[in-house]
Amino acid sequence: MAIMLKGFALAFLVSFLSCHLISVPSQASSDDFLQCLREKMPSELVHAQGSSDFAAVLVSSIRNPKFFTDTTVRPLCILTPTDASHVQDAVRCGRWHGVRLRVRSGGHDYEGLSYRSARPEVFGVVDLANLRAVSVNKFESTAWVDSGATIGELYYAIAKNDPRMAFPAGLCPTMGVGGHFSGGGIGMMMRKHGLAIDKVLDAKLVNANGDLLDRAGMGEELFWAIRGGGGESFGIVLSWKVQLVHVPSAVAVFKIPKTLDQGAIDILTRWQEVGPLLPRDLTIRVIVQGQQALFQALYLGTCRSLVATMGYQFRELNMTSADCRSMTWLQFVVGNTDTPVEALLSRNTSLSTFTKNKSDYVRTAISKDVWRNIFSWFEMNGAGMIILEPHGGSMDSIHTAATPYPHRSGVLYNIQYVVFWQGDGTATTTWLGNFYDFMGNYVSKNPREAYVNYRDLDIGQNVVMDGVSTFDSGKVWGEQYFMSNFERLASVKAAVDPTDYFRNEQSIPPLLQEHR
């Protein structure tokens, strides 16, 4: 054991040193890079580390305080482009002077990879917050949305144009379109309409040469890869053309909590079978926290029809018309009917509590005895929580290789583990690690599937050799996120960015010829 650890430490040191020697540019090249940027774009869009507004720009979309500490590896500079040409120039300056770029849209990455590095590195950040137009085409029922828009801004613009149109994506209004679409986009309408990426028709991307390409220009393989293959790897996506979907003028919703005494375990055990088989208009997700399971539903129809459907299909929940509320889709996204829908336009985020998340997929229902055991884990930690998102419906009928998101046919539901803490998080994160190990017996295996948008660096990080992230190191985490699609993603990467300019700790490594 001791020898293994020593070997590991040595290997780590060597890879760290070689990475250091190869990828960290000299002070001179950093200065030249900044000089290059200032020549190409208005200087007020270049926020260098020493400048007075640097900290404010950096923190503007950070949610997790653990990534805003002094020990975090921060960018050399943050660019806030107002035009596509600025992004192209930033890539060209970066290539010329050997400085990498990371992209930030909404800054919600769970590991902060859009604005910090987990290891020593010199890099700039392209923050797309100023590039956030949404333009809806009523006649085509499509929209072009810039990556820097939040999902709340997109939903709002669509509904203002026509309240019976919407888009199937996630729930948190402040998430950026850029990162969210890059990883898939799980939401409450996916059982009917699929993920956000299933409705993307075209995109504009700046590649590693600084070229601006649309779908026809980038080709179908690259267009396939950017729809779910994870952010950062293939270039900077500036905007997306999406297909809108119809929603009724009112939807029906309920939130029903069940405690252990009220039969939470039996109902949850039953939900696993029912949830993925319900009519596509109905999604019931579950949040387990403390000794309670909260059943939260969105139904694309009336309360009356929802009560009837629940009576036939999921009697065990005992849902009645008293549980049901009818509201617009937009009001559902806001979360309650008292808050004005304009709240969706607020980009404010705050450095609230510390959090850490992980994910799993379940393909075989978990038994009642095991659920009893899971609830006892939550007795130990009141701050822990799991969110269960049912698949099935449309998710079952879309082929595994249609997009990089592979968790389709046969998946019952996704599990997201969430822990929150203030101050010292050691006990909480240890609890999460132990609970995740325990759950390993009951979730998908070989590979143990995970969702790239719930990014988790614990499942693996790239190793850089000769200046390039290695395929074998990427495979460790990559097959969990992408399963059989990983190798195809790595081939696309080799074709479009063989020198691995766009990279982070979990970017797709190039599958170079010598490994094939």
Residue 206 has which token pair?
A: 């700046």
Residue 176 in the binding site for ligand FAD (CB under 6 A): yes
Give the binding range for ligand FAD (CB under 6 A) out of 45-53, 167-175, 324-332, 431-439. 167-175
Question: Among residues 89, 153, 198, 232, which is the contact residue for ligand FAD, using CB under 6 A?
Answer: 232
Judged by CB under 6 A, the chain residues 475 through 514 that form the site for ligand FAD are 504
The terminus-to-terminus CA distance of the chain in angstroms comes to: 33
Residue number with CB closer to ligand FAD (237 or 286): 237
Site for ligand FAD in 271-290 (CB under 6 A): none
DSSP string, 260-309: TTTTHHHHHHHHHHHGGGS-TTEEEEEEEETTEEEEEEEESS-HHHHHHH
* Residue number with CB closer to ligand FAD (307 or 360): 360
- Indicate which single residue of 97, 108, 258, 475 sits in contact with ligand FAD (rule: CB under 6 A): 108
CA dist 286 → 253, 377, 381 (Å) = 13, 17, 18
Find out whether 261 and 217 touch, Cβ atoms under 8 Å: no
Angstrom distance (rounded) from CA 36 to CA 427: 47
* CB contact set of 239 (below 8 Å; sequence gap of 6+): 131, 133, 144, 145, 146, 147, 203, 204
* 422-426-432-437 Cα dihedral, nearest 10 degrees: 170
Of 171 and 398, the one with the shorter C-beta distance to ligand NAG is 171
For residue 379, the minimal CB distance to ligand NAG (Å) is 21
3-state secondary structure 120-176: CCCEEEEEHHHCCCEEEECCCCEEEEECCCEHHHHHHHHHHHCCCEECCCCCCCCCE
Give Cα separations from 15 to 25, 111, 254, 465 (angstroms).
Answer: 17, 22, 52, 7
CB of 284 to ligand FAD, least distance (A): 15
Report d(CA 503, CA 470) in Å as an integer. 11
Using CB under 6 A as the binding rule, whether residue 171 contacts ligand FAD is answered as: yes
Among 81, 179, 460, 509, the residue binding ligand FAD under the rule CB under 6 A is 179
- Cα 402 from Cα 394, distance rounded (Å): 13
Cβ-based nearer residue to ligand FAD, 180 or 199: 180
Contacts (CB under 6 A) with ligand FAD, residues 88-107:
102-107
HSE-CB at 292 with a 13 A cutoff on CA atoms is 12
Cβ 318 to ligand NAG, closest distance in Å? Answer: 4
**How many whole angstroms separate alpha carbon 205 and alpha carbon 403?**
17
Distant-in-sequence, close-in-space partners of 17: CB < 8 Å, separation ≥ 6: none
Residue 199 contacts ligand FAD per CB under 6 A: no
Angstrom distances, CA of residue 360 to CA of 34, 176, 204, 416, 459: 42, 23, 32, 7, 12
- For residue 352, CA distances in Å to 105, 229, 355, 421, 427 come to 20, 29, 9, 10, 19
Site for ligand FAD in 38-67 (CB under 6 A): 63
Examine residue 393 and tell whether it contacts ligand FAD (CB under 6 A): no
How many residues of this chain interact with ligand FAD, rule: CB under 6 A?
34
Shortest distance, position 392 Cβ to ligand NAG, whole Å? 21
Which of 282, 319 has the CB closer to ligand FAD? 282
Between 110 and 471, CB nearer to ligand NAG? 110
Q: Which does 170 bind (CB under 5 to 8 A by kind): ligand NAG, ligand FAD, none?
A: ligand FAD
Q: Which is nearer to ligand FAD, 89 or 307 (CB)?
A: 89
Task: Kindly tell me which of 80 and 269 has the beta carbon lying closer to ligand FAD.
Answer: 80
Q: Which does 349 bind (CB under 5 to 8 A by kind): ligand NAG, ligand FAD, none?
A: none
Contacting ligand FAD within 234-273 (CB under 6 A): 236-237
Nearer to ligand FAD, 238 or 310 (CB): 238
Query: Cα(326)–Cα(201) distance, rounded to whole angstroms?
Result: 32
CB of 110 to ligand NAG, least distance (A): 4
Using the minimum distance from each CB to ligand NAG, give the nearer residue, 107 or 474: 107
Residue 2 near residue 44, CB atoms below 8 Å? no
Binds 102: which of ligand FAD, ligand NAG, none (CB < 5-8 Å by kind): ligand FAD
Q: Is 294 in the site for ligand FAD (CB under 6 A)?
A: no
Residue nearest to ligand FAD as judged by C-beta position: 231
Note the helical H segments in 294-411.
303-313, 329-334, 368-380, 394-397
Residue 175 near ligand FAD by CB under 6 A: yes
Q: Is 86 or 356 the residue whose CB approaches ligand NAG more closely?
A: 356
CB 78 within 8 A of CB 54: yes
Q: Give rounded-to-5 percent helix, strand, coil for the chain.
A: 40, 20, 40
Binding region for ligand NAG (CB under 6 A): 63-64, 110, 262-263, 318, 346, 348, 355-357, 418
C-alpha to C-alpha distance for 416 and 285, rounded to whole angstroms: 11
Find which of ligand FAD, ligand NAG, none residue 243 binds, CB within 5 to 8 Å per kind.
Answer: none
Indicate whether 231 belongs to the interface with ligand FAD (CB under 6 A): yes
Residues of this chain, 398-437, that bind ligand FAD according to CB under 6 A: none
In the complex, the smallest distance separating the C-beta of residue 193 from ligand FAD, rounded to whole angstroms, is 14
Distance CA 461, CA 470 (A): 10
Closest distance to ligand FAD from the beta carbon of 68 (Å): 13
DSSP state of 400: T
> Which chain residues interact with ligand FAD by CB under 6 A?
63, 102-110, 113-114, 128, 147, 170-172, 175-176, 178-180, 182-187, 231-232, 236-237, 453, 504
